[in-house]
Structure 1
Amino acid sequence: MGLPRLLVVDGMGGASPRDYLRSLAPLAELKVVYSPPPFPDLAAQKERELAARADTVEVVTAHRPDDVAEVVERTARSWSADGVFAQNEHLLTEVALAAERLGLAYHSPHSASLLRRKDLQRDALSAAGLPGPRTAVLEPGVDPAVALAKVGLPAVLKPAVGVGSISTMLVDSAQALAAAVDEAAHHYRNDPRMYGREPLLVLESLLVGERWHQDERFGDHASVESLVFDGEITHLAVSDKTPLARPFRETGHLLPSILDDERQEVLREAASAAIRALGLRHGATHIEFKLTSAGPRVIEVNGRLGGSVARQLELTAGYDVIADLGRIALGVRPHANPRFECSSLFLSPASPQRDVVVRAVHGEDRARAIEGVRDLAIRWPAGTRPDWRMGGFSSLWRACLTSPTADGVFTVARRLEDALTVELDDVG
């Protein structure tokens, strides 16, 4: 009997073709539906990696995200696919629609809508009894002050459907609200990842956190990484977060967590409750929490792995979570067995909250040579303009570090930051 057939859907974000093809090839025959990212350099890199496997893996192109559901359904039917694999957040709804029509394991369309629409997600979490911030949608044609009156100050303005903290900002006065709404909407419309869509904006009361670590290297938030197989939840890891950069930009996280067992269990229980509240039955979740004096509060539930989590699980535990997601897609129970042997720190320093151009990058070779620096990617080389408005996409560089201990990996981080310099000039 031959291998089952697994249809992989690839687009903006998620694992690289090199990584997912390596992990999934032992499990199944593979075919790829590819939706090109709206950034030429990123698309070219993905296409080079796909071309390197052209002798064994056929690629079918869906030129726009709106085409994905139809292309996935048609391709899966003609090829008799046994499963569909996708880890791209912006294609979640389209893949869910196709998977339901095909009778294949994936997030249901209803659950996918809750994962993508943060306002609907808040409603579902609240209905299940999970405490969270006060929330109000800024209805088109209605004075934003109406929503602010429901939420109060300070508030967080964000899109209902976004990616990477795009158009997310603090509103600390009623006078600042109108300008913040205009700015957020303008950024959203002009971000290539949004494909010209109009934003639906949401206001949330600001969650006030506290450090659970008593250590200034960490922020007041954390995440839980989980798998769900036919409704059965397995938590893979808790991650500790480094402090946020303004405005609400993540800068890194440590895996596995160094919180005490009791507090990690509180986070895992909260993650299970959130997964059940959204009716999730298949796939991965990355759930971000604000740590408060009253317990963890959900910031958001994502129906995918955290951005660097697959690599960090590989480095710290020798565990291939992409292969396990392939098993779930094929209806096979995942191994879900990471055993941590060291610590990993992912760093992603944010671009400053102003218009800049990169003058020069110094020390890259020295930084790569530091023991414990496992991966280093310079995101914005000399002459380019990182745009802070694009959220996490504008991080200046990204690195995965390892060391036998958490303290040791922060020592590696200091050496890296001492060696690597990104010079920026303001753009007038």
Structure 2
Amino acid sequence: MTPTSSEPSVALPRLGVLYNPRTVEILSLARVSPGRWRTVWLVDRELNAQVGARRLLRRFGEVIDITGLSMAEAATCITEPLDGILATNDPDLVRAAELAEQLGLPHFCPAQVARLNDKFLQRQALQAAGLPTPGCVRIPAGMSLDAAVAAVAGLSYPAILKPAHGASSRATYAVSNADEVGQRFAERLDYPSEDFVVEERIPDGWAPADSPWADYLSVESLAVDGEITHFGITGRGQLAEGFRETASIMPPALAPAEWPALYGLAAAAIRGLELSSGVFHTEIKLSADGPRVLEVNGRLGGGSISWLAERVSGYSLLAAAGLVNLGRPPAPVPVPVPVPANTNGVGFAVYVQPPYEAREVVDITGADEVRAIPEVDELVLTRRPGDQVNPPEEGSQSVVAIIRGLAADHVRVAELLAQIEKSLQFSYR
């Protein structure tokens, strides 16, 4: 259904949305806002130079230009009060917290955002809350290579090297010893431009060859005034080199009896970070030693999770996020444990990742063949021939195609993953 631009003006709260074209689908948000809130788009033209997109934004709400403004300055541009602010990515959580503080709105405070966005601070907070936590060392920008190697010498290996502030496995590397940390840093032309962390790797739950599914998943949660509701759990396909995501599966191939413990761990992590309201995406590793928190994000999960939730259950996580950020309770979750018996089926989103060493897309074949698969709803090519890719630095954002759909069960999803991999072919240089 095409959203309408005509929204009733009566007594609906005003929701400020920090617009980012990478993480906000205009029509998706416009579709869920009528009857719930009036949208006020907060637009930074440095992030979105497309005039057409700004015209579309005006069809579905008020637009306030905050280009080049501090959040204190942006607050003075908002002449009619807002009732809440929605941010859909980690950098915008920082801006939302600053703006909410200026306007006196409910939102994470800057200290809470720091615990969400800074991987080292989050590990410290989770450890203080009593959750099992791997060893983690911060490598500050400006530290010499020799000092960095010495700082991480006491960790247990293997480990993972990654930015302290980062998403989508950007610039994320497996390292087998302290010297390799130094080697990885030496390879980066911009070192030491930002803080990194080296974190002990949580033991794998099973070998990749033993299952089409990865040994980690995510819990999607909603909280208002300390009351936490869990929507469900999303499984994953096996990771590509560089810890890049290749598939999201909802619901996961996980026995219902295992769900409560994962919900409990996600809730403990949220409370351990001293968070009482918000939307949370908690990634959990199913390690050989039991479930372990990988990280907590204070936003909706990326990777088609909102699309999958609605396709599988009819529930809009995007609508729920808007209401939660207005300080209002979301709609009740339709089913307590969304397993195949009480959903439409198993939703899947496949992310085609280029080889780690690829730098340019040369050719694409098989797209029409994949689109013809009955269970496939859509195939989106995110890169075309001639487009550049840089998997080590882009992480999962180096994806070249996304395929989404719905299957009868997990057996069929596994078959589809193999069929798509065989049919859709990219060549690179």
Name the SS of the counterpart of 2:360 in structure 1.
strand
Deviation of residue 119 (structure 1)? 0.5
Aligned to 1:210: 205
| Structure 2 residue identity aligned to 1:267 | L
Give 1:164 shift.
1.3
TM-aligned CA distance change 1:282 to 1:239, over 3 Å: same
Report the CA distance shift for 1:399/1:56 in structure 2 as closer, same or farther (over 3 A): closer
Which residue identity lines up with residue 156 of structure 1 in the other structure?
A: I
Once the 2 structures are TM-superposed, how far is the Cα of residue 68 of structure 1 from its aligned partner?
A: 5.6
Match of residue 405, structure 1, among 409, 413, 426: 409
Match of 2:273 among 241, 264, 278: 278
Q: Deviations over 1:214-249 (max 9, x none)?
A: 951111211111111122111111111111111211
> Does 2:385 match 1:382?
yes
Residues 157-236 of structure 1 aligned to structure 2 (within 5 Å): 157-184=161-188, 186=190, 198-211=193-206, 216-236=211-231
* Superposed CA offset, 1:297-340 (max 9, x none): 11111111111111001100111111111211222211141443
- CA positional deviation for 1:177: 2.1
1:91 alignment partner AA: D
Contact kept, 8 Å, 2:30 with 2:60, in 1: the verdict is no
Q: 2:122 corresponds to which residue?
A: 121
The equivalent of 2:365 in structure 1 is 362
* Partner deviation per Cα, 1:174-215 (whole Å, 9 max, x = no partner): 3322221233573x88xxxxxxxx310111111111139995
Letter in 1 for 2:273: L
Q: What's the RMSD between the two structures over aligned residues?
A: 2.3
How far, CA to CA, are the matches of 1:315 and 1:37 in structure 2? 33
Residue 419 in structure 1 maps to residue 420 in structure 2: no
| Cα deviations by residue, 1:97-139 (Å, 9 ceiling, x for unpaired) | 2112322222222111111111100000000001111011114
Residue 132, structure 1, aligned to residue 120, structure 2: no
Give 1:260 shift.
1.2
How far apart are residue 50 of structure 1 and its match? Answer: 4.1
User: Residue 154 of structure 2: SS of its match in structure 1?
Assistant: helix
**Is contact 1:238–1:255 with CA below 8 Å preserved after alignment?**
yes
Classify 1:116/1:53 alpha carbon distance in 2 versus 1 (closer, same or farther; 3 Å).
closer
Runs of 4+ in 1 over 6 A off after TM superposition: none
Q: Structure 1 residues 56 and 212, CA, compared in 2 at 3 Å: closer, same or farther?
A: same
- Partner Cα separation in structure 1 for residue 164 and residue 372 of structure 2: 42
1:352 and 2:355 aligned:
yes
Instruction: Identify the range of structure 1 (400-409 vs 89-98) with the bigger mean alpha-carbon deviation.
Output: 400-409
Name 1:194's counterpart in structure 2: none
Alignment partner, residue 23 of structure 1: 32
Question: Which amino acid in structure 1 is aligned with residue 382 of structure 2?
Answer: R
Q: Residue 73 of structure 1 corresponds to which residue in structure 2?
A: 75
Structure 2 segments unaligned to the other structure (5+ residues): 1-9, 336-342
TM-score by length of 1: 0.89
Contact 1:185 1:199 in 2 (8 A): no
**Retained in 1: the 8 A contact 2:234–2:305?**
no
Change (3 A) 1:201 1:263: same
What is the aligned counterpart of 1:34 among 24, 40, 43? Answer: 43
After superposing the two structures, state which structure 1 stretch, 156-165 or 27-36, moved more.
27-36
Unaligned runs of 5+ in 1: 190-197
SS in structure 1 opposite 2:131? coil
Alignment of 1:325 with 2:321, yes or no, is: yes
User: What's the TM-score once normalised by structure 2's chain length?
Assistant: 0.89
Once residues 355 and 70 of structure 1 are traced to their aligned partners in structure 2, the CA distance between those partners, rounded to angstroms, is 43
Cα gap change, 1:347/1:122 in structure 2, threshold over 3 Å: closer, same or farther? same
Measure how far apart 1:56 and its partner are: 4.8
- Out of 7, 22, 44, the residue aligned to residue 13 of structure 1 is 22
Distance (whole Å) between structure 1 residues aligned to residue 102 and residue 387 of structure 2: 44
Please tell me whether the aligned partners of residues 208 and 238 of structure 2 are also in contact (alpha carbons under 8 angstroms).
no
Structure 2 distance, partners of 1:37, 1:253, is: 31
Distance 1:21 1:277, change over 3 A: same
Residue 242 of structure 1: aligned partner: 237
Name the structure 2 match of 1:2. Answer: 11
Q: Does 1:52 align with 2:56?
A: yes
Kindly indicate whether the alpha-carbon contact (under 8 Å) linking 2:46 and 2:67 is maintained by their aligned counterparts in 1: no
Q: What SS does the corresponding residue of 2:242 show, helix, strand or coil?
A: coil
**Structure number having the greater helix percentage:** 1
Give the Cα–Cα distance (whole angstroms) in 1 for the partners of residues 279 and 207 of structure 2: 26
Other structure's SS at 1:54 match: helix
Match of 1:193 in 2: none
Structure 1 vs Structure 2: percent identity of aligned residues? Answer: 30
Aligned in 2, Cα 1:378/1:248: closer, same or farther, shift over 3 Å? same
Is 2:312 the counterpart of 1:316? Answer: yes
- Asked whether the equivalents of residues 41 and 57 of structure 2 are also in contact (C-alpha less than 8 Å), the reply is no
2-structure distance, mates of 1:104, 1:273: 25
Q: Distance in 2 between matches of 1:334 and 1:68?
A: 31
Matched, 1:302 2:283: no
User: Structure 1 residues 212 and 422, CA, compared in 2 at 3 Å: closer, same or farther?
Assistant: closer
Partner amino acid, structure 2, of 1:266: A
Q: Distance in 2 between matches of 1:353 and 1:53?
A: 36
What is the distance in 2 between the residues matched to 1:336 and 1:382?
A: 45
> What is the CA-CA distance between 1:171 and the residue it aligns to?
1.4
